[in-house]
Amino acid sequence: MNLQPATLQKIDEVITHYPVKRSATLPLLHLIQEDAGHISDAAIEWVAAKLELQPINVYEVVTFYPMFRRQPIGRRHVKVCRTLSCALLGGYKTCATFEAEFNTHRGEVSPDGEVTVEFVECLASCGTAPVVMIDDTLHEKVDCARAKALAAQIKAEAKQNNVASSG
């Protein structure tokens, strides 16, 4: 496991929040996923050792909670709300727009590796439906036009990043 020093420091701190170490399972998995992008087998074993658990104890948690992933995803994560209030105002079309813009299907990484588009369940912002979370940021009232604009922005940012990393 190659975690950044800041992550390791946060991990040690968060364990002190609980009288029972096992409680730190979710916080550790969040910290590792933020750092490493996904939860590998090595990460599961590492968390188990850190919290004095068996790997299966961690594995069963990782596989239950939708937010933890065993595989890397695209550099940007587009999560479109699928549930009723958003669907009533066109959430499915919003999702289809993102899929078309990035030439991908829900749940898959786009061919260029940049974006993963996904359906998620109610994001607790139903009054501003349809809503989309891009990475950690919530976007409200994302109709098709707005979805196209957001997609364009993501593409522009990707281009800039490529220039920066090759230059």
Minimal distance, residue 122 CB to ligand FES, in Å? 3
Sole binder of ligand FES in the list 122, 141, 144, 155 (CB under 6 A):
122
Q: How many CA atoms lie within 13 A of 95 on its CB side?
A: 22
CA dihedral for 155, 160, 164, 166, sign (positive or negative): positive
Residue in 128, 125, 129, 132 with CA at minimum distance from that of residue 96: 132
* 30 in contact with other proteins (CB under 8 A): yes
Which residues make beta-bridge pairs with 132? Answer: 80, 139
Quickly count: other Cβ atoms within 10 Å of residue 146's Cβ: 16
* 78 in contact with ligand FES (CB under 6 A): no
Give the interface segment with other proteins, choosing from 4-12, 66-74, 107-115, 154-162 (CB under 8 A).
66-74
Place of tokens 């609980």: 18
Q: Residues in the site for ligand FES, rule: CB under 6 A?
A: 81, 83-86, 122-126, 129, 131
Binding site for other proteins (CB under 8 A): 17, 19-20, 22-27, 29-30, 51, 57, 60-61, 64-68, 79, 82-85, 87-90, 92-93, 120-129, 133, 136-138
